[in-house]
Amino acid sequence: MSFTEEQDYLDYLDRQARVPRGFRFYRRSITFNAAERPGDEAYRMNLSYLHSDAVETPAAVMTTTNRFPGAPVILARERIAAGHLRGVLVNNKVANVGAETGLADARRLADCTAHTFAVPERQILSVSTGVIGWRLPVNEMESAIPRLPDSPCSPREFSQAIMTTDRYPKLAWSGGPGEPGPVMLGAAKGAGMVEPNLATMLVFFLTDAVVPPVLLDRVQRRVVNRSFNALSVDGDQSTSDMVVAMAGGASGVELNERDLETLWQPVADALALEIVRNGEGTSHVIEVIIRGCPDASLARKLGRHVVDSPLVKTAISGNDPNVGRILGALGDGLSRFDPEGRIDTSRLTIALAERVVYRDGSFVLNQESERILAGTFQAAAMDPVLKGYPQDRGTVPIIFDFRGEARESVRVLGSDLSHEYIRVNADYRT
């Protein structure tokens, strides 16, 4: 599936997305002046809301482990304790982190939404993404919330409304027409902390399967570990990252643990890939695959360390199959995460794409292979400036095979480091 125009991509999302029964989407826009900024420049903010019709909707939330969580994270941890939610209010433009009245503001907005949709206050979250340090424009938001019921929208419009600097909206789904049984829909916002002061990866999963809260929580942890916890755009976890799942049950189909995971995992995997691909400044998606490593948690750390290495990132940005940097980054990661040297590296092979470049302790290099690999990298490159739709589905695969006993292979996704990344992140004043 590839697109050459934004409208084609949006039409595809509108036509193909599977919407679980019993959920509704709303959005409105407001304008406001930021108290922290001089002058009277008006900023535009989208208010979005997703709502479950089911009176008792099982829900699960995973939040950032950053030690300075934003107010929405603190509120979500409180309100998810009972295992049920009816809705989530989302705003872009202001992240509500480190503002003195942040938690009180989040509560006020959630409670106002609860009154508007006539649901219990404790079952509504208020989730924010955008500038860190500013106060939310609470008065303007409170005026708009009662009019949300007049502004229903499609899932695709919801996924657009929660964007900040995302290059394109991100929706994924499984189940639905042609297949019996329930549907899983996921919408994601974020691309690492890519623009000055903007933060937050937000992911929402909605299903009409019947799932008790405890099972929803347990499966979500596994699914998220393999997808969003195995990607890295900037290396830092933001103050505001949050994943919310709601299971309305309108399909009437009860799923066991395994079937739920089968429905859910591909949706999470697809969104995780899209989050990396859509990062501002990304020109290649790097896919590190670790095989034969007996410790999956260590393998995930090693993979993240390699995709976070600025030297690996910049080499790939320049279409350079620089195996010295890749070996160096892996060796540095092993010294950090396996200081006792439990992992046997003597049988390690490294392959780029499917071509072995390191074996038996030495590099296997020649001019021919380097030229072929550079061409492979070039073919997976995207224009980091272009916006609106995913340009390419390719990745740059780096395969580490320790050839030991391992139950599973581990995959970690990351982005490269391009001039556009620096432009977006450093030069926005000029």
How many C-alpha atoms does 52 have within 13 Å on its Cβ side? 29
Site for its own copies in 340-369 (CB under 8 A): 341, 345, 358, 361-363, 365-367
335 binds its own copies (CB under 8 A): yes
The residues near 50 (Cβ < 8 Å, ≥ 6 apart) are 23, 24, 25, 26, 87, 88, 90, 158, 204, 206, 246
Site for its own copies in 377-406 (CB under 8 A): none
**Neighbour tally for 121: CB within 10 Å:** 14
Closest contact distance (angstroms) between CB of 343 and its own copies is 8
Answer yes or no: 282 catalytic: no
* Residue span 189-228 as binding mask against its own copies, x where in contact by CB under 8 A, dash where not: ----x--xx-x-----------------------------
CB 149 within 8 A of CB 49: no
Report which of 291, 298, 284 is spatially closest to residue 341, judged by C-alpha positions. 298
310 binds its own copies (CB under 8 A): yes
Closest contact distance (angstroms) between CB of 254 and its own copies is 36
Contact with its own copies (CB under 8 A) among 334, 380, 410, 412: 334
31 versus 335: smaller Cβ distance to its own copies: 335
Contact with its own copies (CB under 8 A) among 5, 31, 53, 68: 68
69 binds its own copies (CB under 8 A): yes
Closest contact distance (angstroms) between CB of 426 and its own copies is 3
26 versus 358: smaller Cβ distance to its own copies: 358
Report which of 125, 155, 163 is spatially closest to residue 29, judged by C-alpha positions. 163
Reading phi first (left if > 0) and then psi (alpha if -120 to 50, else beta), residue 418 is in beta
Residue 126 to residues 20, 41, 51, 96, 250, Cα–Cα distance (Å): 22, 25, 12, 10, 24
375 binds its own copies (CB under 8 A): no
Site for its own copies in 132-151 (CB under 8 A): 132-133
407 binds its own copies (CB under 8 A): no
Question: Which residue, chain included where needed, has tokens 């499966």?
Answer: 219
Of 86-94, 96-104, 110-118, 214-222, the segment contacting its own copies by CB under 8 A is 96-104
CB 124 within 8 A of CB 111: yes
Helices (H) and strands (E) in the chain, counts: 12, 17
Report which of 188, 209, 205 is spatially closest to residue 260, judged by C-alpha positions. 209
Closest contact distance (angstroms) between CB of 61 and its own copies is 17
Residue tagged active-site, from 57, 200, 282, 376:
200
Contact with its own copies (CB under 8 A) among 338, 369, 397, 406: 338
The tokens of 358 are what? Answer: 């390191």
Contact with its own copies (CB under 8 A) among 317, 376, 391, 395: 317
d(Cα 58, Cα 82) in Å, to the nearest integer? 9
Site for its own copies in 243-302 (CB under 8 A): none
Report which of 247, 189, 250 is spatially closest to residue 213, judged by C-alpha positions. 247
Catalytic site positions:
200
